[in-house]
A and B are shown apart, each in its own frame.
Chain A
């Protein structure tokens, strides 16, 4: 079982990316979590560019998101919602309609902020957007508030309870992603 981890933040020391690095460590047995880092390479979605031979960054996005058994998204909250860059990647991955990388892909959403709400609004919006894009959204939100207090200077997770909750998120996601018997 291979789960792709997608951070909504491009910042080098992003808390959400660090949270996903912790998820790699927290992965239950039989589950491999791999960080996807192509977000910043994508052009802005433009239907004129969405041809049968899209640019390399889009081709790689679609290939990686489609090949994964499941995707774990971690989103920060910008102005009360999902960062534009992450929304842009989802827009690319939601086309072509009904045959897209996100169609029937099993996904979960977590999110972190330095404030007291843990990117809750962004997570709610992201779940709605992913559902409309055709994905199977499973599990509950995991709002990580005051995330900077839960990571050390090197971005390692200090909070044992949060580590356990990440493991549970991955367990739920992995079990939902098991294909149905034919």
Chain B
């Protein structure tokens, strides 16, 4: 990368894999019109490649959705929502990644949910530099978020509130906090 370019290299060269214990893949959605509800996916993977042509891809197993209630987890996996049997994975591939001087990041990519692929825009932050953990492994943190309309992916179940409006919001925020470990060379 030329030193004349204003943006920094997105991430140091090498392959970085998300450590599943210290990473989070979650979503936030309006609930009953009065508060924000959070849920997450516990089984996921993400790989970041640093260097001159950075790339990022990741996926989450729909069956691992966790909203703290077994019956509700089941409904989310049913055809009313994610239809886990037919569409077992949610996946993402970045098409562009930029890092600014202040370590904020921007990007774009393609998100696939329930078999529907849509372009999305991402914003977030990245650690200023990798750290070496007590076990001598190189670590790098990346936080990203995006906003989507779930109905564009066919995840459209809803019910009317008695006081008006919808029970579940259509605008969903996806938030991923990725704790990357550098893969062995």
A-to-B contact residues, CB < 8 Å: 97-98, 103-104, 131-132, 134-137, 180
Q: Does B38 contact A (CB under 8 A)?
A: no
Q: How large is the interface on B (under 10, 10 to 19, 20 to 34, 35 or more residues)?
A: 10 to 19
Q: Does B153 contact A (CB under 8 A)?
A: no
CB <8 Å contact, A180 and B80 = no
CA distance A76 to B102 in the complex (A): 65
Q: Which of B71, B79, B86, B157 contacts A97 (CB 8 A)?
A: B71
CB <8 Å contact, B74 and A98 = yes
Main secondary structure of the interface of A (DSSP, over half): loop
**22 A-B contacts (beta carbon < 8 Å):** A97-B70, A97-B71, A98-B74, A98-B77, A104-B78, A104-B79, A104-B83, A104-B85, A104-B86, A131-B78, A131-B79, A131-B157, A132-B80, A134-B74, A134-B75, A134-B78, A134-B79, A135-B78, A135-B79, A136-B79, A137-B79, A180-B86
Main secondary structure of the interface of B (DSSP, over half): loop
CA distance A132 to B85 in the complex (A): 15
The smallest beta-carbon distance between B85 and chain A, in angstroms, is: 5
The 9 closest A-B pairs by CB, nearest first: A136-B79, A131-B80, A134-B78, A104-B85, A98-B74, A180-B86, A97-B74, A104-B79, A132-B75
B46-79 interface mask toward A, CB cutoff 8 Å, 1 = contact, 0 = none? 0000000000000000000000001100110111
Please, which residues of chain B bring their CB within 8 A of the CB of A132? 75, 80
Please, which residues of chain B bring their CB within 8 A of the CB of A180? 86
CB <8 Å contact, B83 and A136 = yes
Look across to chain B and name the residue whose beta carbon is closest to the beta carbon of A105. Answer: B79
CA distance A163 to B156 in the complex (A): 31
CA distance A98 to B85 in the complex (A): 11
Please, which residues of chain B bring their CB within 8 A of the CB of A103? 78
CA distance A97 to B157 in the complex (A): 19
